[in-house]
Structure 1
Amino acid sequence: MTDVHASDYIWFREEFPGLVESYCLTLVEGVSAEGLLRRLGAVQGRPVTGVDDALLAFDEFDDRADGADPALAELDEDLVAVGVTELDGWAVVVEQYGNLGITREVMAALSEGTRLVAHYRNINAVDHFYWQEGGRTRLHFEPLFAAHRDGPDAADPEVATLLAACGFDLRESDDRDYRLHIPAAFALGERLTGVRLTAEVLRTATFVIGYAPQP
């Protein structure tokens, strides 16, 4: 397990302002990008380079713009666009304005026989962090309120120590520090998976676009 801290992920807000206010990031161990799309029941679209091009593909899907993925021609409206890449033995799923990765049915399917880590925030500052193994939640909490956790590992003192080491403020008082809760979620994700995300990695990785049904 790495000793990464929230301060190592401050770049996310600066480098990807189009994602920081609403994103869902899901990591699944030992599954290929294509295999993950199959678990989602998704139609596989085209590959793109980097998160920025993935976000453009999401916009094209929403707008049905000229130049959109040819796979869109046969798809209906009740689908969600996702981008999937592979890093260090994990499939990494990026969503903007979506929450497939934290939907119970989806998490159960994605984590069957393996491990899953997902964190999410929407434009209303609703956020979640999940750690699952074999279709079951080991830990869940809202990064803004990290003192309140549920799941079999929630009360483990080592979990509290781990969260504090990542940069979460575990105090319950009104003066607790909210500023690092998003980068702290990234740091915790790295500690649990060993997958280091950087701005360069997200800008240069090949993402396969997929179009998944809503559960």
Structure 2
Amino acid sequence: MTMQPLDVSWLCGEYAEECYSFIYIRATPEQVVSRLGGRWEDFTPGPFPDDPDDYPDLGESIGVTSIGDWTFVFDPAWLGTREDVITELSEGTSLVSQAALGVKGIEDFYWCEDGEIRFAFGSDDGYRTEIPDELVGTMAEIDRLYPSFHQFYEGPAFLLVERLTGIRVTEQLLKGSTLMWGVVPEPAKP
């Protein structure tokens, strides 16, 4: 598979000052909301925030939408970095999560299968797991495309998302999607 760099300048620009978690789960939006403790009937449609100033406040709401066989979750906080939450969400399915606060260079990336973390990367400690055999070629291709060290959220994370989910995340995809917005309970601290 030949990869092409993605233009994520829109997300690394004005959005860089805001925290985000993008979570991709191979399940329906209704299943994901239920697993998070929310009620699907309480969610209402709306767009992806066109401006970071339109992000919901922390603890307010998340946005979910279907992209192919996957559900995309937008959380304006760190839900996608909670290992207890993402491993539980991935039970019986696959999950990929990326989170960043670009202005501070903070980022996390996870790939989980059936409740188990297969691959993890974080800005504080780099690779938290060994690179699984099925990602070795992908990581070599990413190193070729980004020969000098880049923050994961400046492109490499999105290429891994594409490799693991088949979803090529673009500004047009997200801003052209209708998300269902609603509140889920704050997960208990482990």
- TM range, normalised to the smaller chain? 0.7 to 0.9
Match of 2:142 among 150, 166, 172: 166
What is the letter of the counterpart of residue 132 of structure 1? C
Corresponding position of 1:27? 24
What is the letter of the counterpart of residue 177 of structure 1? F
CA distance in 2, matches of 1:36, 1:205: 17
Corresponding position of 2:181? 209
CA offset at residue 3 of structure 1? 3.2
Gaps of 5+ in 1: 63-78
Corresponding position of 2:128? 150
After TM superposition, the structure 1 stretch with the greater mean CA deviation from structure 2, 130-139 or 48-57, is: 48-57
CA distance in 2, matches of 1:168, 1:41: 42
CA offset at residue 160 of structure 1? 3.9
In structure 2, relative to structure 1, the CA distance for the partners of 1:112 and 1:184 (3 Å cut) is same
What is the letter of the counterpart of residue 204 of structure 1? G
SS of corresponding position for 2:43: strand
Larger radius of gyration: 1
**1:170-189 CA deviation, whole Å, 9 max, x = no partner?**
99xxxx53266521101111
SS of corresponding position for 1:34: helix
Q: State the identity as a percent.
A: 27
Say if 1:22 and 1:120, in contact at 8 Å, map to a contact too. Answer: yes
Normalized against structure 1, the TM-score is what? 0.72
Say if 1:142 and 1:149, in contact at 8 Å, map to a contact too. Answer: yes
- Residue-pair matches, total: 184
In structure 2, relative to structure 1, the CA distance for the partners of 1:107 and 1:181 (3 Å cut) is closer
Corresponding position of 1:132? 112
CA distance in 1, matches of 2:140, 2:94: 22
CA offset at residue 214 of structure 1? 1.9
In structure 2, relative to structure 1, the CA distance for the partners of 1:116 and 1:204 (3 Å cut) is same
Corresponding position of 1:141? 121
Corresponding position of 2:64? 84
Q: Where do residues 1-215 of structure 1 align in structure 2 (5 Å cutoff)?
A: 3-5=2-4, 7-13=5-11, 17-18=14-15, 21-29=18-26, 31-43=27-39, 44-52=42-50, 56=54, 58-59=56-57, 79-96=59-76, 98-122=77-101, 123-142=103-122, 148-151=126-129, 154-156=130-132, 159-167=135-143, 176-178=148-150, 181-215=153-187
Say if 2:106 and 2:123, in contact at 8 Å, map to a contact too. Answer: no
In structure 2, relative to structure 1, the CA distance for the partners of 1:84 and 1:156 (3 Å cut) is closer
In structure 2, relative to structure 1, the CA distance for the partners of 1:52 and 1:10 (3 Å cut) is closer
